A and B are shown apart, each in its own frame.
Chain A
Amino acid sequence: MVDSKSSSLGEALVARMEQMTWDRIGELSQKNIRRNALVRDQGESLRALRDVAVGDGDSAIVIAAGPSIHRHDPIAAIKNSGYRGAIVATESAMVYCLRNGVVPDLVVTVDPHDRIKRWFGDPDLSQEELDADDYYRRQDMDESVRREREFNEEVIGLLDRHGPDIRIAVSTTAGENVVRRCIDTGMQIYWWNPMLDDPDAEDSVTRAIWRENRLPLVNAGGNVGTSCWMMAHAVLGKKRVALTGMDFSYYGGTDFLRTQYYYEIRDLVGEDRLGEVFMAIHNPYLDREFFTDPAYKWYCECFLELAADADCETVNCTEGGILFGDHVAFRPLADFLAETTDA
């Protein structure tokens, strides 16, 4: 149960999230960047995307993989509306799109963790690996992920079939197995560097990376969903960007066990103090309470800061979650589709 009166532990962790994130991904990211330099010629620079017509018109819809996409099924409404704008999907939402007969106009991947390979299909998936890691099985995601082996075969099939049709913005921090699958399935790869620190700062790690590979630097905003939004407006130039699946939170009643960082939070504070780390947030548009963990709360705060300076209108059509604020409208997807499709 989330302790609504005191989430001081959670807020304290949010305040330290920048350092915690660096500690978590800094070394692995740089290792992946060095490795990916060897296959740089298997794709183009993200810069090349600026010359490609991605989706019609000046709008885009981001499809991320938060719990709301399974509750509201936005792809069905998008298909029924005849929407012709750009569809930009996280790698974790790519299978959801493909299963529903939609090839995203652009897929984005950035996370350096090896776990991400599951969204691309893992030809070497072993039972030992499945037994050792229940990360996907226990989370509040597509129930079919629980049938992991079958799911894996399905993903392999989908990507083997649709790979050549997929444009994917691959971060230089992407893991070896992810990059291998992108190459092997014939995806059209566009390389980019995520900013790991301020490139204008003295002794910037990001600047040093750029000197080596000269690839564009993109502020990934802490997570792949925000990266998609950044790509949609700052790279593809879209002026109206809708978000779906960007919950940054969990629905009330979700068991803590089914949250992303359950084991890590439990190991840090103990089972009896979990409620002090998760934070309850009331969504006034839905008059409903959601709860979030420190990482997702940080993602939300980062997004709101970025949205304040964005050259686009941002409309959160997730119809769930905690992302709303001064520069992020919160509206039903049906409204956005009505405004951006021909009658």
Chain B
Amino acid sequence: MADILKGNFDTKKKVEPAAKTTEDELEEKFEREAMKRLGGSIAFVSKKKVKWDLDD
């Protein structure tokens, strides 16, 4: 949600988001587990086509 709501002024002090709690992390993990079954067949990488060799 933090990246959806937009403010209309700059704060004097920098606002740091609250650190994640164990509960937040568990909820996030549960959410990812539930949603991963809807994932695609294979990955998509933006702006890439074929690479015959990589420069090492």
Contacts and interface: CB of A to CB of B under 8 A. Distances in A.
Q: Do A and B bind each other?
A: yes
Contact of A268 (B34, B44, B45, B56): B34
Nearest to A305: B46
A18 B44 contact: yes
A199 interface: yes
Nearest to B45: A195
A141 interface: no
B29 to A, nearest CB: 10
Nearest to B54: A210
Interface string B12-48: 0000000000000000000011111111111111111
A195 B43 contact: yes
Given A19-B32, A207-B54, A173 B42 contact: yes
B52 interface: yes
Which label, helix, strand, loop or mixed, suits the secondary structure of the A interface?
Answer: helix
A112 B42 contact: yes
Contact of A25 (B41, B45, B49, B56): B41
B49 A230 contact: yes
Contact of B50 (A26, A112, A217, A224): A217
Interface of A: 13, 16-26, 29, 47, 110-113, 171, 173, 194-199, 206-207, 210-211, 214, 216-224, 226-227, 230, 234-235, 261, 264-265, 267-268, 293-295, 298-299, 302, 305-306, 309-310
25 contacts: A17-B38, A17-B39, A18-B43, A21-B43, A23-B36, A24-B37, A25-B39, A25-B43, A194-B43, A198-B46, A199-B48, A206-B45, A214-B53, A217-B51, A221-B44, A222-B41, A234-B50, A261-B38, A264-B37, A268-B37, A295-B38, A295-B41, A306-B49, A309-B47, A310-B49
5 smallest CB-CB distances across A and B, nearest first, come from: A24-B39, A23-B36, A20-B39, A21-B39, A222-B44
